[in-house]
Structure 1
Amino acid sequence: MRFRYTVAGQEYRGQRASLHIGNGNASLYYQQLGERLEAAQRTGTPVPVWVNPAQPTESIVDRSLRPGLLALQLGLALAFGGVGGNLLVRMGRTMWVRLRTPG
């Protein structure tokens, strides 16, 4: 997806549609976003584009958060973080015992 936008009289080109990166072929979210943007293109309706004021070359069409995806990512982070933290604690305890034991 490519689009044009104007900031302070200067035209720019963007291509990022969403905050979320990845394959969205099977996602209802990407399907609905695509349909909305195609309808706007057919009718010539302007679409708001969010632009980084400090770097106008950085832009995005839809900055909404997807709660389901965020929950999945949080769950995975907590699960892997918990396993990793558990391993670190066990390794630390083992090292502590070995260092404290006369050898």
Structure 2
Amino acid sequence: MYLEQILEEISVTNKKLTARMAELEKVMNDKLIAPEKEFVTLKELAESGKWPYTLQATRKMIERGKLEERYHFNKIDGKWIFSWPALREYLENKFYSKRCA
């Protein structure tokens, strides 16, 4: 009787773990397959983890002219919309030039 209870508990736990693994695989596949956004807002940019600067630092970069309007970003209805390919190029050039210098 005791052994049957243990086997039943193991079976239930195994089913739960299998279901959880399937959920995690789905999430991972969705993230891996999801296409990269071409345009992002300032908030999305800062939260993406790909952009190494904070919201405030990005605003300062715009004020100082390090990011060019109509190339790196556009202001639409008072909201900054950034071109991720242009920003990725900016980062690659910035860090590549530091390594080569």
Give the TM-score normalised by the residue count of structure 1: 0.31
Higher strand content, 1 or 2: 1
Higher helix content, 1 or 2: 2
